Amino acid sequence: MKYFAGIDLGGTFIKCGIVDEAGNILQKDQIPTGKERPYGEIAADMAALVRSLAARAGIGEKELCAAGIGAPGTVNSARGVIVYSNNIHWKNVPLGGAVRGALGLPVFVTNDANAAALGESFAGAAKDYENSIFVTLGTGVGGGIILGRKLFEGNRSAGAEIGHMVIRAGGEKCTCGRRGCFEAYASATALIRQTKEAMKKDPASALWKLCPDPEQVNGKTPFDGLRLGDKTAERVIRKYVGWLAEGLANLANVFRPDAIVLGGGVCAAGDALLLPLRRKMNRMLYGGTTYAPVPIVIASLGNDAGLVGAAHFAQQRSGN
């Protein structure tokens, strides 16, 4: 059996796991990122964590083949460089090389959403599918493109920015500078904004009882309102699902993947989101009933998707 280290670098924690070639996690742990430190210290901590987990798992030096890192921001995976991370305030940091130096193993770096996409493809909700598109609904809309069970990253790994596909030209302002991006309509941030706007227009809404301070609205609030039968909550969700369906139908028409995998906090809503979403998106697909619908499934690895995917990225890229 061959083993790989998977590292999920976040702004708060570094999560790490020792993963076998079948995708099972043997040992995992996390340490604080301490993101203000020089990157060399962070790299040294990563290497030490990998070594201690490998020892705990009883893995011999030669059985651990490579390490993979999923990092926030734009990553040039061919060079192992974090080109830009808003989250960790890094610019052109050669993280891959630093960890390789400290660990003495090949190290491969990709974007965190890409790592999660690969994790779900290898061992999670998309494991029965050759081609899948992973979409996370969080602060933004992130994504990963899996074709032939491998990550498609585009030129200099700059692709898969699916949140920055415009679905309504001239519409809502996006953080990227364009107007009308998918992210500006379908992220958790967008759902929260849409909920607050609807509350302002309807002082009688039950949403006010659930959340007297609009600043406390989160992605769960409108779904809680829906369960209470609140019409305003119902309308917010109907519209949100409509925007989400537009973006997913675009991806389905462009890729016709075997499945779309949804991740991120908004998915906790489960069927209240998924059932109307499937219905709406499939009505939008080109070719109508000529083809089977594109399945939409919920990510199943949770917080482990990133480290399992990072380990599998190392497995694929190291040729194991």
Find the binder of a copy of itself among 1, 155, 203, 229 (CB under 8 A). 155
Interface of this chain with a copy of itself, residues 79 to 118, rule: CB under 8 A: 83-84
Query: What angle separates helix 39-56 from helix 95-103, to the nearest 10 degrees?
Result: 50
Sheet holding 74-76, edge to edge: 74-76, 81-85, 90-93
Distance CA 300, CA 312 (A): 16
Distance CA 256, CA 291 (A): 10
Determine, following the binding rule CB under 8 A, whether residue 246 of this chain makes contact with a copy of itself: yes
By C-beta, is 171 or 265 nearer to a copy of itself? 171
Find the binder of a copy of itself among 228, 256, 275, 320 (CB under 8 A). 256
CB 259 within 8 A of CB 295: yes
By C-beta, is 37 or 286 nearer to a copy of itself? 286
Interface of this chain with a copy of itself, residues 14 to 33, rule: CB under 8 A: none
Determine, following the binding rule CB under 8 A, whether residue 293 of this chain makes contact with a copy of itself: no
Could you tell me whether strands 13-20 and 3-9 are parallel, antiparallel, or unpaired per DSSP bridges?
A: antiparallel
By C-beta, is 59 or 249 nearer to a copy of itself? 249
Could you tell me whether strands 25-32 and 13-20 are parallel, antiparallel, or unpaired per DSSP bridges?
A: antiparallel
How far CA 33 is from CA of 39, 87, 182, 315, in Å, comes to: 10, 12, 30, 24
CB 127 within 8 A of CB 308: no
Determine, following the binding rule CB under 8 A, whether residue 249 of this chain makes contact with a copy of itself: yes
Distance CA 277, CA 169 (A): 22
Find the binder of a copy of itself among 5, 103, 145, 305 (CB under 8 A). 145
Closest approach of Cβ 82 to a copy of itself, in Å? 12
Distance CA 129, CA 144 (A): 14
CB 55 within 8 A of CB 108: no
Instruction: Using the rule CB under 8 A, give the single segment among 15-23, 49-57, 169-177, 301-309 that binds a copy of itself.
Output: 169-177
Find the binder of a copy of itself among 26, 31, 274, 284 (CB under 8 A). 284
Closest approach of Cβ 289 to a copy of itself, in Å? 11
By C-beta, is 225 or 257 nearer to a copy of itself? 257
Q: How many residues at the interface with a copy of itself, by CB under 8 A?
A: 48
* Contact residues: a copy of itself, CB under 8 A: 74, 83-84, 131, 145, 147, 152-162, 164-171, 176-178, 180, 242-243, 246, 249-251, 253-258, 284, 286-288, 290-291, 294
